[in-house]
Amino acid sequence: MTSSAVPGDTPDQQPGEGLRADAERNRCRILAAARSLYARAGLGVSMASIAREAGVGQATLSRRFPTKDALVAAVFAERMDAYAAAVTVALDDPDPWHGFTGYLHSVCAMQAADRGFADVLTRAFPAAKALEARRAEVYDGLLELIARAKNTGHLRDDFTHQDVVILLIANAGVVTATGDAAPDTWRRLVAHMIRSYAAPGAPIPPLPEAPPPTALYRAMVRLTRDTTV
């Protein structure tokens, strides 16, 4: 009798320590594959592609992670910890305006480093309770950070927490569109947005140079190819 199992795919019916070790190895392979694919291509990567990259069958992937939300939550647990730590660092800054601008730059840098995480910060995952709890924790800290920055007189009174979400959505789009062709473009976007948030007289960071026209053209060509495949 022949087996149709994918190499590296271990059925869950075998008892004993060997099963637990194999199951853990499969879980680690799935997480590594998902982390790599999401970082390069965002959350649009299919579960089937992740299973192939991990060298396991889709049944094994489904046993380890019954839903995509569960997989996303496991893959980005550490990233969400870093996301929460960023607002803590900002709140610890003795200069609330500097803490606020530093927070925006840090979070947008996280997006630029990982397309999957760029998507995570602009989507909701109701079934991933731990991930959403972390997001809620950051939200509470962000509200305090915004209030402190306004009290300095440097952040515009009409700025709201929704503006941070808008920035993250815009930055995710820039990161996706420019890719490796113009990888630092997001820095100029963030600098421009911080300038728009600043009240008159507020200290603002220098504006990074614009990407070369040739780099933006390459990004546009790549984006066109991606959307026509």
The Cα-based distances of 42 to 7, 114, 139, 173 in angstroms read 26, 8, 23, 11
Q: How confident is the model at residue 127 (pLDDT cuts 50, 70, 90)?
A: confident
pLDDT tens per residue across span 8-36 = 454 444 444 555 788 889 999 999 999 99
* Domain range annotation of the chain: 17-75, 92-228
CB neighbours of 182 closer than 8 A, spacing ≥ 6? 211, 212, 215, 216, 218, 219
Q: How confident is the model at residue 2 (pLDDT cuts 50, 70, 90)?
A: very low
How far apart (Å, rounded) are the C-alpha atoms in residues 188 and 211?
9
pLDDT tops 70 at residue 132: yes
pLDDT tens per residue across span 39-89 = 988 899 999 999 999 999 999 999 999 999 999 999 999 999 999 999 999
Question: What local confidence, expressed as pLDDT, does residue 154 receive?
Answer: 98
Predicted structure pTM score:
0.82
pLDDT tens per residue across span 65-75 = 999 999 999 99
Q: What is the chain's length?
A: 229
- Give the number of other Cβ atoms within 10 Å of residue 116's Cβ: 23
pLDDT tops 50 at residue 143: yes
CATH number for the region 17-75 comes to 1.10.10.60
At 184, give phi and psi (nearest 5°): -100, 10
